[in-house]
A and B are shown apart, each in its own frame.
Chain A
Amino acid sequence: MKNQFVGKISVGEVLSYVFLTIVLVFCILPLIFMLTAAFMDAKQIMSMPYTWIPSSKYFTTSTRTFFTNFQKAIVGNHGDNIFFRNLFNSLIVATVCAMTTVFLASLCGFGLAKYKFKGQKAVFMAIMSTMMIPFEAIMIPLYLVATKMKIINTIPGLIIPFLVSAFGVFQMRQYLITFPTEYLDAARVDGMGEFGIYSRIVLPNSTPVIATLAILSFRNQWDNLLWPLLCSQAEKMKTIPLYISKFAEEKQTDEGALMACALLASIPMFILFFSMSKYFLGGAAVYDSRKG
């Protein structure tokens, strides 16, 4: 199949490229807009037609430079540079949640995939059913739980309700079902304990799915808006999505500063994405093994 058409470019192929490129433009253009608008004066962003290259001729004040938007975004509403603290919080919360999700979900997934015990199906279904609970539905009861645990307005408060996700358990179970049982039995014969099998055999041999799951839960927490909205009250306990939505409401914020803020807030995710793209793009690899 590979060599049949070498040297010839079929009409179909040209059409494929055309179509794919149209979709590509649709996907990328808003990002380029964000990138360019971040350097512009609001006047230029709103002028028609949109000029893609930031220009100083639109500057409305003499002190303005191409980086004024970024300065505004970082300095924040009150000049207290809380941006970095909020960024740090987001990173901590997302990282810790990614780690705990991987640990707990793989442990549980392993238990569900490779053991047979009474009520196994019920446990699995119970965990799956939590996937169906919309967060908005349990937000207020959850807030009550968090107040009782005295974790409101703390970093643990942002982390604890998201230690593991049902989807993570599901992913790990589906992956581990295809894990060769012979390896486990061999280890048992060698006298390895069950937890040892998990930590020394299963975990090290599941890196792709673990990386994928870690990235997914990192992204989910990076994106989380509603819970931090309720849970973090002090400025220094806030996360980046909160920072942006608050920044967006401040009266002197204009479109340019907003785009600069959005861009800055996206940089960590972009770095993660471009450096680990194979795990992002392999994100669905898990479904290979759904036959089980």
Chain B
Amino acid sequence: MKKTKKYSIERRQARWGFAFTIPCLVFFAIFAFYPIISAFITSLTNRKAISRNFSFVGLENYIYIFTKGNGGYSLLNSLRATLEFTIGTFIPMVVVSLFVAVLLSQLRKPGHSKFYELCFYTPAVLSSVVAATIWMILFQPTGLVNQMSNFLMMTSGRDYQWLTSNTMLQISTMIVYFWKYIGYFTILFITGLASIPSTLYEAALVDGSSRWHSFWHITLPLLKPTVVLVSIMAMLQCLKTFSTQYMFVQGGTARAPIDVITMNIYFTGVNNGYLGRASAMSIVLFLIMLVFTALQFKFQSGDDVDY
């Protein structure tokens, strides 16, 4: 085959390849890039929802959100709330779901492990609104969670303040999230485990290694890419959390302890109508997420393991 002809076929194919991506590109241009650019421009103005006129104010909104209180709900507090929620949720989630996945993969009756998987995953099927509605009732002082707390702590009639005290409220939102996604992340790890060839285990067992030893020295290192990927995914999801906190606040809890960035954006922009300021917060969140994603891609491309 002549070189030139091959070249032109490749070019023809390349055009097709690009053509296949056009519908998505057009879609994202309209429904993602345009809005985010528009949000960026708005972030440079003093635009409010109701007023007709607005003017460009440069970086004033950015300075405001980092130095002022935003009517009692500062961005710094939101960064704190988001960070605490993210760390408090994704670390237990990754640890527990990894542990559960390892235990499930060790069960000798596949039927049993399927049954457990099915049950663990079921909460993920519920919508966030339903999940928050159920838990709001469970967390009431008269609710089931408080009853169980009393039972486990061997107290009686104590109000553990699941929705009222600062720390407990934060823990409550973490529990709802943990509950909803534990099954999902377990499945991710199970898939990761399944892709590790069992010949490796067998070799290890012939060597006389204990199961624990083989987990620690064989499984875990091989699972590292999955762990990293899942952790970052979990972290990104936690950064974007909204519904649980929103439903809780609607139910009457304090906002400040669980005022995650997305919720602050929502209240500042949609509720109080400070569009410019809310847009500035959006851009900050966007940049934070971008950094994490860059990390994700870095880990992904650098951490591939050949079995």
Q: Which residues of A contact B (CB under 8 A)?
A: 1-2, 4-6, 12-13, 16, 19-20, 23-24, 26-31, 33-34, 37, 45-50, 104-105, 107-108, 110-112, 114-120, 123, 126-134, 136-142, 144-145, 160-161, 163-164, 166, 169, 194-195, 198, 219, 222-223, 225-226, 240-241, 244-245, 248, 255, 258-259, 262, 265-266, 269-270, 272-273, 277, 280-285, 287-288, 290-291
A46 vs B142: C-alpha distance in the bound complex, in angstroms?
6
Shortest C-beta distance, A221 to chain B (Å), equals 10
Question: Given known contacts A30-B123, A145-B34, A262-B134, is B201 in contact with A1 (CB within 8 Å)?
Answer: yes
A277 vs B286: C-alpha distance in the bound complex, in angstroms?
34
Residue B70 lies at the interface, judged by CB distance under 8 Å to chain A: no
Residue of A whose beta carbon sits closest to that of B115: A24
Segment touching A, from B58-66, B101-109, B162-170? B101-109
A1 lies within 8 A of B25 (CB):
no
One of B30, B39, B179, B289 near A26 (C-beta < 8 A)? B179
B119 lies within 8 A of A28 (CB):
yes
B127 lies within 8 A of A134 (CB):
no
One of B127, B142, B229, B263 near A223 (C-beta < 8 A)? B127
Chain B residues with CB under 8 A of A280: 121, 125
The A-B contact count (CB < 8 A) is 282
A272 vs B126: C-alpha distance in the bound complex, in angstroms?
12
Please, could you name 7 A-B residue pairs with CB atoms under 8 Å apart, sorted by A? A27-B119, A27-B182, A34-B130, A37-B137, A123-B18, A134-B282, A245-B247
A140 lies within 8 A of B243 (CB):
no
A223 lies within 8 A of B128 (CB):
yes
Residue B272 lies at the interface, judged by CB distance under 8 Å to chain A: no
B205 lies within 8 A of A136 (CB):
no
Beyond the given A127-B24, A288-B191, could you list 8 further A-B residue pairs with CB under 8 A, ordered by the A residue number? A33-B134, A34-B130, A111-B16, A127-B21, A139-B266, A142-B31, A166-B28, A266-B125
Residue of B whose beta carbon sits closest to that of A193: B16
Shortest C-beta distance, B307 to chain A (Å), equals 10
A240 lies within 8 A of B17 (CB):
no
A290 vs B27: C-alpha distance in the bound complex, in angstroms?
25
B270 lies within 8 A of A115 (CB):
no
A136 lies within 8 A of B265 (CB):
yes
A256 vs B130: C-alpha distance in the bound complex, in angstroms?
13
One of B38, B116, B127, B138 near A222 (C-beta < 8 A)? B127
Most chain B CB inside 10 Å of its own CB: which residue of A49, A140, A245, A288: A140
Chain B residues with CB under 8 A of A287: 188, 191-192, 226, 229
One of A114, A126, A140, A248 near B270 (C-beta < 8 A)? A140
A281 vs B278: C-alpha distance in the bound complex, in angstroms?
38
A16 lies within 8 A of B106 (CB):
yes
Chain B residues with CB under 8 A of A223: 127-129
Chain B residues with CB under 8 A of A288: 191, 195
Question: Given known contacts A2-B108, A105-B24, is B35 in contact with A142 (CB within 8 Å)?
Answer: yes
A12 lies within 8 A of B211 (CB):
yes
Chain B residues with CB under 8 A of A241: 127-129
Chain B residues with CB under 8 A of A139: 266, 269-270
A272 vs B121: C-alpha distance in the bound complex, in angstroms?
13
Describe B's contact surface by its main secondary structure.
helix
Residue B57 lies at the interface, judged by CB distance under 8 Å to chain A: no
Question: Given known contacts A1-B201, A166-B28, A198-B20, is B229 in contact with A137 (CB within 8 Å)?
Answer: no
A110 lies within 8 A of B285 (CB):
no
B202 lies within 8 A of A130 (CB):
no
Residue B256 lies at the interface, judged by CB distance under 8 Å to chain A: no
| Nearest 7 pairs of A and B residues by beta carbon | A115-B17, A111-B20, A137-B282, A138-B35, A141-B35, A117-B14, A132-B289
Shortest C-beta distance, A43 to chain B (Å), equals 11
Shortest C-beta distance, B299 to chain A (Å), equals 11
One of B117, B137, B188 near A45 (C-beta < 8 A)? B137
- Docked complex: B229-271 residues within 8 A CB-CB of A: 229, 236, 240, 242-243, 247, 250, 261-263, 265-266, 269-270
One of A27, A46, A118, A283 near B140 (C-beta < 8 A)? A46
A119 vs B18: C-alpha distance in the bound complex, in angstroms?
9
Residue of A whose beta carbon sits closest to that of B187: A284
A138 lies within 8 A of B39 (CB):
yes
A23 lies within 8 A of B120 (CB):
yes
One of A49, A144, A164 near B24 (C-beta < 8 A)? A164
A40 vs B195: C-alpha distance in the bound complex, in angstroms?
47
Shortest C-beta distance, A96 to chain B (Å), equals 14
One of A19, A117, A245, A281 near B17 (C-beta < 8 A)? A117
A20 vs B105: C-alpha distance in the bound complex, in angstroms?
12
One of A34, A48, A49, A116 near B134 (C-beta < 8 A)? A34
